[in-house]
Amino acid sequence: MAYELNVNGVTMNADVDPDTPLLWVLRDTLGLVGTKFGCGIAQCGACTVHADGAPIRACMTPIEAIGDAKITTIEGASALEVGARVQKAWSELDVAQCGYCQPGQIMSATALLSQNPAPTDDDIDAAMAGNICRCATYVRIRAAIKRAAGQEA
């Protein structure tokens, strides 16, 4: 089945089965491998992308459910004002260890700060609860979100 998608502001075409998760369309069909596969059941958040600015788990979102939504992936995050700020904070604090979860973390953090420019610790806990970091870089993830929000400790 042929689908036309808007990914990072670019129209892209994919001919895949309707039940194919967006994650695999991005990674295997469109070659955008920044979005990661971690669990396949929306438990780890490694596959987090934005649909019209809202964070979704691409591993459980079938392509047929995307419709006209504008998809933003980690490859397109720099084009968002907040996304670029989050990436900069992530770089400055050198948040990553292995780095595998960080695209998903950054997309969740970008969605949070886009909605809520001055999040509390509880807001951060709630917004980031769906993103596992197996290397457990949580201390720096929290610090980087605060830095990106301009609320340096």
Partner 1 sequence: MGMITNITQGFSPSRRAVLAGGGAGGLVLAFSFAGKGAAADGPAKLNAYVQIAPDGIITIVSKNPEIGQGIKTSLPMLIAEELDVDWANVRTVQAGNDPQAYGRQFAGGSMATPLHWDQLRQVGAAGRAMLMAAAAADWSVDVASLTTEPGVVVHAASRRRATYGALAAKAATQTAPELSSLKLKDAANYRIIGQPIPQVDTAAIVTGQPLFGIDMRLPGMLYAAYEKAPVFAAKVAGADLAAAQAVKGVRKAFVVEGGTELDGLLPGVAVVADSWWAANKGRQALKVQWADHPTSSQSTPGYAGQARSLVAAKGGKSLRSDGDVEAALSGSAKTVEADYFYPFLSHATLEPQNCTAHFHDGKMEIWAPTQLPEPGRQLVAKTLGIAPENVIVHMTRSGGGFGRRLMNDYMVEAAWIAREAGAPVKLVWTREDDMRHDFYRPAGFHHFRGGVDSAGNITAWANHFVTFGEGEATARSAGMAATEFPAQFLPNYKLDVSMMPLGVPTGPLRAPGSNAIAFVVQSFIDELAHAGGVDPVEMRLRLLAQSSGGAFDAERMAGVVRLAAEKARWGKTTLGPRQGQGIAFHYSHLGYFAEVAQVAVAQDGTVKVEKVWVAADVGRQIINPLGALNQIEGSVIDGISEMFGEITIKDGQVEQANFDTFPLLRIADAPVIETHFIKSDNPPTGLGEPALPPVVPAVTNAIFAATGKRVRSLPLKASELAAG
With binding defined as CB under 8 A, does residue 140 bind partner 1?
yes
b vs e for 80-110, b when ≥16 Cβ sit within 10 Å of the residue's Cβ? bebbebbbebbeebebbeeebbbbbbbbbbb
Distance CA 108, CA 123 (A): 12
**Size of interface with partner 1, in residues (CB under 8 A):** 61
Q: Which among 38-46, 50-58, 64-72, 111-119 is the span making contact with partner 1, rule CB under 8 A?
A: 38-46
By three-state DSSP, how is residue 10 classified? strand
User: Cβ of 67: how many Cβ atoms within 10 Å?
Assistant: 10
Which residue is listed with tokens 């979005």? 35
Least distance between partner 1 and beta carbon 54 (Å): 19
Residue whose structure tokens are 């089945």:
1
* Binding to partner 1, residues 42-101 (CB under 8 A): 43-44, 46, 73-75, 77-78, 87, 90-92, 94, 96-101
Q: How far is the CB of 66 from partner 1 (least distance, A)?
A: 15
The answer to whether 75 touches 84, Cβ cutoff 8 Å, is no
Window contacting partner 1 (CB under 8 A); options: 37-45, 50-58, 64-72, 112-120: 37-45
**135 contributes a contact to partner 1 by CB under 8 A:** yes
Site for partner 1 in 1-20 (CB under 8 A): 12-14, 16-17, 20
Q: Is 131 in the site for partner 1 (CB under 8 A)?
A: yes
**CA–CA dist 59, 94 (Å, integer):** 27
Residues lying near partner 1 in the complex (CB under 8 A) are found at 12-14, 16-17, 20-21, 24, 27-41, 43-44, 46, 73-75, 77-78, 87, 90-92, 94, 96-103, 106, 124-125, 128-129, 131-142
